[in-house]
Amino acid sequence: MKKIFYLLIILMNTGVLFAQDPTGELRGYVYDDTGFPLFGATVVLDGTQKGSTVNEDGLFVIKNIEPGSYNVTASFLGYEAKTEFNVIVKSVGNKEEDIAPGSFLYLVEY
C-alpha cells in the first residue's frame, strides 16, 4: 500500500480581533512520496465534522476552527492514511516556524 509522504500544514490567523468568537483556519498541502499532489484526498480534524478535499495543486483549506489541539488525518484511495498529532490551531498570535527540508512534515504557523 502506498503512503502519503507528507502533509504541509499552514495555520492561518483568520480570527477578527474584535469578534466575539474568533476562529482559526487550517490550510496545507498533501503529496505522495514522489511529490505528486493527491487531488481529491480528504483531510479531516479527528473528532469533529470538519474537513476538506484537496484541490489539483494539493491544497486543502478548513475554515472556522475553534482554537485548540487537533489530530489531522489525510486519506486517499490506495494510500495509507497519515495522521499528524496535536496540531495547534490559534485564532491570533501564531508564530512562523520552519522545519528543515527533508522532513516528512513541514509546519508553518502564522
pLDDT, one tens digit per residue, over 59-107 is 888 888 899 999 998 888 888 888 888 888 887 644 333 322 222 333 3
Fold of 2-104: Immunoglobulin-like (2.60.40)
Is pTM beyond 0.75 here? no
pLDDT tens for residues 72-81?
A: 988 888 888 8
Name, in order, each residue with C-beta under 8 angstroms of 102's C-beta and a sequence gap of 6 or more: none
Contact 81, 4 (CB under 8 A): yes
C-alpha cell at 4: 502519503
Domain residue extents for the chain: 2-104
Q: Is 76 buried (19+), middle (13-18) or exposed (0-12) by CB count in 10 A?
A: buried
Q: Is 43 buried (19+), middle (13-18) or exposed (0-12) by CB count in 10 A?
A: buried
Name, in order, each residue with C-beta under 8 angstroms of 96's C-beta and a sequence gap of 6 or more: 108, 109, 110
C-alpha cell at 79: 494510500
